[in-house]
Amino acid sequence: MTSASVWAAPLIELLGLAHPPVAITFGTQPAAPGDRSHPAQPAGCCFWEPAQRQSLDTQAAEHANCSVGSYTHGLIDMATAAAGADTVALVSSGWITAGDFDHVARLPFRPTSIRYEPLTVATSPDVVLVRLSPSSLMTLQGACPDLRLVTRPQCQIVPLASSGQIAVSPGCAVSRARTGLPPGEMTCALPAASMPALIDRLREAVAADQTVASYAAADRQRFPALD
């Protein structure tokens, strides 16, 4: 079996990524007690950026500060998520409605552990997470026009990708405040099982973009510049 680490370099090159891809793996066995070497975080999305540099094995308790994220990752049920003080605050603000939760994606199983790590060291992840610029999104959409742009909460891109759907989020106010995601970047989750085919499609899309961009740049020279 080919290690997933071989996907990292072409993803970075073809999408022009400014940050390393992250691998997410759902475990069926609890992480060993000694594996925890990181502080608790406000939400699961706060593990994404550090996982560009280090491997993090997490359990449900380490996601528990965000009821919505715990729900999307299959760690708690709807009733428990709705009763959370943080969820109550989100609903009372009008940011999300109780009815919206009926349409929020979630994992159909409860993982006993979730591992976040650089794609360069991953073997068999379930989801690959990347941070996109508008230009990166242009390339990805050209290769995969059926990708899904999701609304809040941002973290639902993970269960969507786990189910086989390429999912892009412009971010959500809650996650951006917690993670410091820059305004010019967005997140995207890719199904790991589709990566070889996706990379082939990206190569074709990039080659086509380069051809038409070269034509457009040359054609532009026929026209005077506007002051």
Whole-number pLDDT of residue 3 = 81
E strands, the chain, in order? 22-27, 56-58, 113-118, 127-132, 148-149, 167-169, 186-191
Does position 71 have pLDDT exceeding 70, yes or no?
yes
Whole-number pLDDT of residue 28 = 81
Does position 117 have pLDDT exceeding 70, yes or no?
yes
Does position 14 have pLDDT exceeding 70, yes or no?
yes
DSSP class per residue in 133-158: -HHHHHHHHHH-TT-EE--S-GGGHH
Does position 40 have pLDDT exceeding 90, yes or no?
no
Whole-number pLDDT of residue 53 = 95
Mean pLDDT value of segment 108-126: 95
Could you tell me the pLDDT band of residue 1, with boundaries at 50, 70 and 90? very low
Mean pLDDT value of segment 100-116: 93
Mean pLDDT value of segment 96-125: 93
Q: In whole angstroms, what is the distance from residue 201 CA to residue 102 CA?
A: 33
Instruction: Pull the structure tokens for residue 104.
Output: 């929020």
Mean pLDDT value of segment 48-74: 94
More confidently predicted of 226 and 191: 191
Does position 34 have pLDDT exceeding 60, yes or no?
no
Does position 35 have pLDDT exceeding 60, yes or no?
no
Does position 24 have pLDDT exceeding 70, yes or no?
yes
